[in-house]
């Protein structure tokens, strides 16, 4: 997951963690998994599903992340006051998996989308090697506000849409769903070999939308796939949508207006916005201009 707008995390739920790269593994054309370790991960408490955390990645030319303060009251101002050339890049990502090894070590997997040198996070991940160290703000308790996937108890089906930036979160959700959960999902990726082998409840129906170079506008392509291959009927579906903000809004509108899904049962998140840089989105967030993720907000 890429970040659009991190808030200063609640002290009771989040803290700084020191992470060290243990290994990397290419998953597909666009995906790279980075596995982190570190003694501080003994206190890391992922809530699973689409649990997010904030990574602080070193600026170009630096191997490790350094911050002037990790104190809960002063870190944010100190980070913002750093010179541009020295300030680590802060981005939100999904915890793909947290585990303890048989040897008793704690590990966390983060899946990065590789999309060129223009993205600081993509650039860092593509050059990450064993021993590189970064900092992160992550969950110290499993029940925290950065797990957005919260289906009501009466949910009888889960419907999902994600583009490549949200696919790690969608995959983590599928991993945690109970056996027998009815799942209908549409996953949009740029290349055919980005269609990953995902663990999911038996019978999960997944459609892969490969953008490639079809020439069609991406939102139109996604909506065509939704309309051509609709989900089975459900009395109380829960809809989880994440990816490019404009496409997410259009897909949400499709479910609410064309499929009569209660808007309160739709959780939507714009991870990025076409035509806007990550830094522009962060600046909007700091200024309080980020789009609402309230399921009850107006279309």
pLDDT in tens, 67-92: 999 998 999 999 999 999 999 999 99
- pLDDT for 285: 59
Q: What angle do CA 128, 134, 139 make, to 5 degrees?
A: 120
- pLDDT for 71: 94
- Average pLDDT of the residues of the chain: 89
- pLDDT for 26: 97
- pLDDT for 280: 65
What architecture does CATH give domain 157-286? 3-Layer(aba) Sandwich (3.40)
Confidence check: pLDDT of 117 > 90: no
Give the per-residue SS3 of 261-282: CCHHHEEEEEEECCCCCHHHHH
| Domain ranges for the chain | 14-139, 157-286
Percent of the chain with pLDDT over 70: 86
- pLDDT for 292: 46
In this prediction the pTM is 0.88
List the CATH code of the domain at 14-139.
Answer: 2.40.30.10
Q: How confident is the model at residue 233 (pLDDT cuts 50, 70, 90)?
A: confident
CB neighbour burial string for 151-167, b if at least 16 within 10 angstroms, e if fewer = beeebebbbbbbbbbbb
Confidence check: pLDDT of 299 > 90: no
| Residue 289: C-alpha distances to residues 54, 92, 243, 284 (Å) | 19, 18, 18, 5
More confident residue, 288 or 173: 173
Q: How confident is the model at residue 11 (pLDDT cuts 50, 70, 90)?
A: very low
């Amino acid at each position: 997951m890429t970040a659009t707008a991190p808030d200063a995390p609640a002290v009771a739920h989040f803290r700084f963690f020191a992470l060290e790269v243990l290994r990397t593994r290419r998953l597909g054309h666009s995906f790279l998994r980075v596995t982190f370790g570190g003694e501080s991960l003994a206190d890391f408490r992922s809530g699973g599903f689409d649990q997010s955390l904030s990574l602080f990645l070193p600026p170009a030319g630096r191997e490790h992340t350094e911050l002037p303060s990790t104190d809960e009251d002063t870190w944010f101002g100190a980070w913002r006051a750093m010179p541009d050339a020295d300030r680590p890049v802060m981005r939100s990502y999904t915890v793909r998996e947290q585990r303890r090894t048989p040897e008793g070590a704690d590990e966390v997997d983060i899946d990065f989308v590789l999309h060129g040198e223009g993205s600081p996070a993509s650039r860092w991940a593509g050059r990450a090697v064993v021993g590189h160290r970064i900092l992160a703000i992550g969950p110290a308790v499993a029940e925290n506000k950065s797990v957005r996937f919260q289906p009501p108890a009466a949910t009888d089906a889960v419907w999902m849409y994600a583009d490549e930036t949200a696919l790690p979160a969608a995959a983590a959700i599928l991993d945690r769903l109970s056996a027998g959960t009815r799942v209908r999902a549409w996953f949009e990726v740029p290349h055919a070999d980005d269609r990953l082998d995902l663990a999911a409840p038996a019978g999960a129906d997944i459609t892969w939308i490969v953008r490639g170079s079809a020439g069609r506008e991406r939102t139109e392509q996604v909506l065509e796939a939704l309309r051509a291959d609709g989900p089975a009927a459900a009395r109380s579906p829960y809809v989880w949508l994440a990816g490019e903000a404009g496409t997410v809004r259009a897909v949400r509108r499709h479910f609410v207006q064309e499929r009569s899904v209660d808007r309160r049962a739709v959780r939507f998140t714009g991870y990025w916005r076409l035509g806007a840089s990550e830094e522009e989105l962060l600046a909007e967030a700091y200024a309080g201009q980020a789009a609402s993720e309230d399921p009850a907000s107006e279309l």
